Amino acid sequence: MTQRTISGLLLLILCSVHAFAGTLHTRNTITAPDGRVRYFHYYVPQNMKSLSPVVVLLHGGTQDYTSILRPNSAQREWLQLADEKGILLLIPNGIDPTSGNPDGTNQHWNDCRADAGKAETGADDVGFIRTLVGWAQQKFHTDRTRVYATGASNGGMMAYRLAFELSGKIAAIAAFVANLPENSECTGPVNPIPVFICNGTEDPLMPWSGGFVGKGGIVISASATRDFWIRFNRTASSPAQTRRYTDRDVTDGSTVKSDLYTRGKDGSEVMFYTVAGGGHSMPSIDHRIGRAIQWLLGKQNHDIESVRHAWAFLSRQTL
């Protein structure tokens, strides 16, 4: 039995765990502008109508498009949200930087790091996602003004790249446990774009204060990443709203605070979540990683369902 077959079986298992109303279409292909055949899943909610919003879900480095849908992945909450809100989900797969395999399980995104080292793939991921969004608009007549991108870690850094290079097509992004690179190969961004950021202060892989990341490259700090978007969007330098969330789980060793910066150019905003004591994971109440994984990644916060907070921000943004 091949690894891809095993992955497919896992996908069947995870899809049967919860009776979602919509349909998950797996292992579809499309040709990107660089000539590579690329793979993607997509989820069509039962109540999806014409001019529905689109969310592009980006996996982290060394993960793949199936792993982020497992029950212990916080991003799995997007399936439930899609059913509730009528959202079309596009779930693309990165490239294996070692083999070049577009349908593997050790995938990466070609984010803006100029010093990514072993994580570098050289793929035109921006072109791939642009093509994928265009395919969805043609097939499902989705709303061109409500396309969003979100991801964690390498996926969050890829969301930043989309904000730089696809700001004319993507209305807003949500990046988790991700900072901007210190040595960037990207230019721009071009247009103001609302940005949601959520980082942990005790992240061993994506340092809160900046520095080396797990697979290669140097990033700036979480606060410097926030400040970059505040400056670019020309929002107020002081938050219009600060909120501290109830410490629902006093045993998780972490708490959450958010700061919203408003009055930016063209109405753009920056939302910045600080997970004090949090590690390299997305906060979640229902999708919890195991203790062994937390030993490697740091503590996971269980006070908020972070995907729902991201959607609350994204859903009020339009091109």
Q: Is residue 34 domain-resident?
A: yes
Q: What was the pLDDT predicted at 278?
A: 98
Q: What was the pLDDT predicted at 188?
A: 79
d(CA 289, CA 76): 12
The DSSP symbol for 250 reads: T
Low-confidence ranges of the chain (pLDDT < 70): 1-19
Q: Is residue 319 domain-resident?
A: no
Instruction: Retrieve residue 212's tokens.
Output: 């080396």
3-state DSSP call for residue 113? strand
Residue 126 belongs to domain with CATH number: 3.40.50.1820
Q: Is residue 139 domain-resident?
A: yes
Q: Is residue 275 domain-resident?
A: yes
Q: What was the pLDDT predicted at 20?
A: 83
Tell me whether residue 272 is exposed, middle or buried, using C-beta atoms within 10 angstroms of its C-beta: 0 to 12, 13 to 18, 19 or more: buried
d(CA 308, CA 314): 10
Contact 55, 314 (CB under 8 A): yes
Q: Is residue 13 domain-resident?
A: yes
- b/e per residue 13-36 (b: at least 16 CB within 10 A): ebbeeeebebebebeeeeebeeeb
Q: Please name the residue that has the structure tokens 């570098």.
A: 120
Q: Is residue 80 domain-resident?
A: yes
d(CA 305, CA 94): 25
Among 288, 61, 310, 71, which Cα is nearest to 198's?
Answer: 310
Q: Is residue 18 domain-resident?
A: yes
> How many structural domains is the chain composed of?
1
Distances (CA, A) of 118 to 97, 156, 182: 7, 18, 17
Instruction: Retrieve residue 28's tokens.
Output: 């579809």
Tell me which residue range forms the domain holding 51: 3-314
First to last CA, the chain: 46
Q: What was the pLDDT predicted at 18?
A: 52
